Amino acid sequence: MARKIDILTLFPEMFQVFNHSIIGKAREKGIVEINAVNIRDYTKNKHKKVDDYPYGGGAGMVMSAQPIVDCVKAVKQNNRGKVIFLGPRGKTFNQDMAKEFAEENELIFICGHYEGIDERTYKYIDMEISLGDFVLTGGEMACIPIIDSICRIIPGVLSSSESYTEESFYNGLLEYPQYTRPEYFEDIKVPEILTSGHHENIRKWRRLQSLLITKRRRPDLFNKFELSDEDKKLLRNIKITMK
């Protein structure tokens, strides 16, 4: 059964990006179903308005509750998944959340716009998430990378689970350096260990590089990461070598 994701948005055309590349192929294979639903189709306003001025005054417009709520109710008839709003009050999205969402069979995302949504809409929202502490022009811009990160770890979307389990953040570390042909480029040679054919030594080298890169570039991640006995040994050995 395909994993189903419905996106409630004012700009469904923005999600045509999912017709291409890896996610597009997954849709063709029936692994994941992604539907963009136009909130504007559910407004009762004869001019198709979905926003209005905020009570109490202030700059900008606020998305009205009625079209969003009616859209959620309509989508819920065929999708019983959690309703997730992309908004600034939410918990910051990360790889752990992506893994959790990838286990869900159905999900519903709401993309906000303007100065936000009418507070009464939250009655129909299960969870709010944010892409980070910065401002975007709309929830669509946050929704695209979030859905992409979820879909790519759904079984069958990538050719091998190794494609994502070795990537940055999946296991709490940044990814090790990658090289491809030619062996020499601008007088820089690929590290000799990678051409040795010794798979265990390569694995240990890559693990050590992930540890060192994370410690240097993202000490916040490194300090939270629980080192294994092997990790500690690899780091001890590199200190001994450097002395």
The domain that holds 73 is classified in CATH as: 3.40.1280.10
Average pLDDT over residues 2-15: 97
- For residue range 27-61, what is the model confidence (pLDDT) as tens digits? 999 999 999 999 999 999 999 999 999 999 988 99
Point out the annotated binding site for S-adenosyl-L-methionine. Answer: 112, 131-136
3-class DSSP assignment, residue 112? coil
Q: Could you say which of 93, 119, 151 is where a domain stops? A: 151
- For residue range 68-107, what is the model confidence (pLDDT) as tens digits? 999 999 999 999 999 999 998 999 999 999 999 999 999 9
106 part of a folded domain: yes
Q: Is residue 43 domain-shared with residue 119, that is, in the same domain?
A: yes
Q: Is pLDDT above 50 for 196?
A: yes
Point out the annotated binding site. Answer: 112, 131-136
Q: What is the mean pLDDT of the chain?
A: 92
3-class DSSP assignment, residue 98? helix
For residue 142, what pLDDT is reported?
A: 96
187 confidence band (pLDDT: 50, 70, 90): very high
Domain containing 220: what range?
171-242
Q: Is residue 69 domain-shared with residue 135, that is, in the same domain?
A: yes
Q: Is residue 99 domain-shared with residue 24, that is, in the same domain?
A: yes
Number of structural domains the chain divides into: 2
Q: Is residue 8 domain-shared with residue 126, that is, in the same domain?
A: yes
217 part of a folded domain: yes
Average pLDDT over residues 170-191: 89
- For residue range 125-162, what is the model confidence (pLDDT) as tens digits? 999 999 999 989 999 999 999 999 999 999 999 986 54
Q: Could you say which of 98, 123, 151 is where a domain stops? A: 151
Q: Is residue 23 domain-shared with residue 126, that is, in the same domain?
A: yes
For residue 197, give the CATH number of its domain. 1.10.1270.20
Contacts of 144 (CB under 8 A, 6+ apart): 14, 15, 17, 18
For residue 243, what pLDDT is reported?
A: 44
Q: Is residue 51 domain-shared with residue 136, that is, in the same domain?
A: yes
Strand residue runs (E) in 11-81 = 32-38, 51-52, 62-63
For residue 225, what pLDDT is reported?
A: 94
